[in-house]
Amino acid sequence: MNSIVYLVGAGPGDPDLLTLKALRLLQRADVVLHDDLVSPEILQLVHPAALIQNVGKRCGRKRITQEELHTRMIDAARTGQTVVRLQGGDPSLFGRAGEEMKALCEAGIDFEVVPGITAAFAAAASAKISLTERGLASKVVFLAAHTCQKDTVADFESGISSGATLAIYMPGQDYAGLQEKLLASGADPSTPCVITSRVSRPDENSYSTVIGELVLAPRASAPSILLVGQVSARKQILPPDSSPKSSLDQLCKVNA
């Protein structure tokens, strides 16, 4: 009776940024196990009869252990239920997807990964900049500034490059320490950067600065991301777009 477990990316928060496949799975799932970064608006799209459980694990607090999460996924799949493990952004980037895939394999449970839009892409789109640009950035480096393990220092040195845009996830609020680490890794103080908080959500906020003045930036509420590199200087300040945007609610009505 084993069913497939779907490891689904919920994107940065805006339900309009869900993939169509993710939406279809949410609307037919029997069990949805989601993390803390999944927005309430996305959870409202889940089938009303589904069992929805928050299994989030943020630094300093967690509802269940990773092993307990594995057990819930496996037990539900073995009863033939359609299980969606819903994670913010993309499952394969700074999440526990690797551990979850290993646990499912060892239990003999088939699974499928459904990608989601990660925060770096959403932040760049919101700022109207390109993460790569001819003559400015030939590569993108994904880094995590914050870890849940004490005495663990983020490695920026391997990512600092004249031809790279750094996408720094979980920058925290110790901007003085973050600035110090970037400068110690060889970053130029004049390198532009953009901090975006709660990207794609109604309360999104962003701030443009340079590494040498990062300590002066207003503290961003989580989740946030820091984009560092010459492309960040191209941030476009344009009037709000008054043209109508596509609505996921309208799409759901059309497909209903």
Please give the share of the chain, as a percent, with pLDDT higher than 70: 84
Which pLDDT score, from 0 to 100, does residue 159 have?
Answer: 75
Q: Work out the average pLDDT over 204-224.
A: 95
For residue 250, tell me if it sits in a domain: no
Q: What is the CATH number of the domain that holds 46?
A: 3.40.1010.10
Which pLDDT score, from 0 to 100, does residue 244 have?
Answer: 44
89 and 24 in a single domain? The answer is yes
104 and 133 in a single domain? The answer is no
Number of domains in the chain: 2
124 and 229 in a single domain? The answer is yes
Residue 102 CB neighbours (<10 A): 11
155 and 178 in a single domain? The answer is yes
Last residue of a domain, one of 117, 147, 164: 117
Last residue of a domain, one of 117, 139, 154: 117
Alpha helices (runs of H) in 31-65, residue ranges in sequence order = 40-43
| Distance of alpha carbon 119 from alpha carbon 97, whole angstroms | 17
For residue 254, tell me if it sits in a domain: no
For residue 244, tell me if it sits in a domain: no
Which pLDDT score, from 0 to 100, does residue 163 have?
Answer: 79
148 and 113 in a single domain? The answer is no
229 and 126 in a single domain? The answer is yes
Catalytic residue among 57, 62, 174, 188: 57
Termini Cα distance of the chain = 29
166 and 230 in a single domain? The answer is yes
Which pLDDT score, from 0 to 100, does residue 254 have?
Answer: 45
Alpha helices (runs of H) in the chain, residue ranges in sequence order = 20-28, 40-43, 66-78, 97-106, 119-127, 175-184, 248-255
Q: What is the CATH number of the domain that holds 133?
A: 3.30.950.10
113 and 149 in a single domain? The answer is no
For residue 162, tell me if it sits in a domain: yes
Residue 189: give the domain boundaries: 119-234
The SS3 assignment for 139 reads strand
60 and 148 in a single domain? The answer is no
Catalytic residue among 14, 35, 90, 235: 35
73 and 154 in a single domain? The answer is no
Is the pLDDT confidence value at 150 over 60? no
Active-site annotation holds for 35 = yes
107 and 209 in a single domain? The answer is no
Please give the share of the chain, as a percent, with pLDDT higher than 90: 75
For residue 246, tell me if it sits in a domain: no
Q: Work out the average pLDDT over 200-209.
A: 96
Of 194 and 244, the one with more pLDDT: 194
Q: Which residues of 215-231 are buried (b: 16+ CB within 10 A; e: fewer)?
A: eebeebeebbbbbbbbb
Phi, psi of 195 (to 5 degrees): -100, 125
For residue 248, tell me if it sits in a domain: no
Which pLDDT score, from 0 to 100, does residue 108 have?
Answer: 96
Last residue of a domain, one of 117, 148, 181: 117
Two tokens at 168? 């720094």
Is the pLDDT confidence value at 44 over 50? yes
Q: Work out the average pLDDT over 71-83.
A: 96
Active-site annotation holds for 57 = yes
74 and 22 in a single domain? The answer is yes
Is the pLDDT confidence value at 32 over 70? yes
Contacts of 153 (CB under 8 A, 6+ apart): 181
User: What Å distances lie between residue 47 and 14, 30, 31, 193, 230, CA to CA?
Assistant: 18, 8, 9, 40, 44
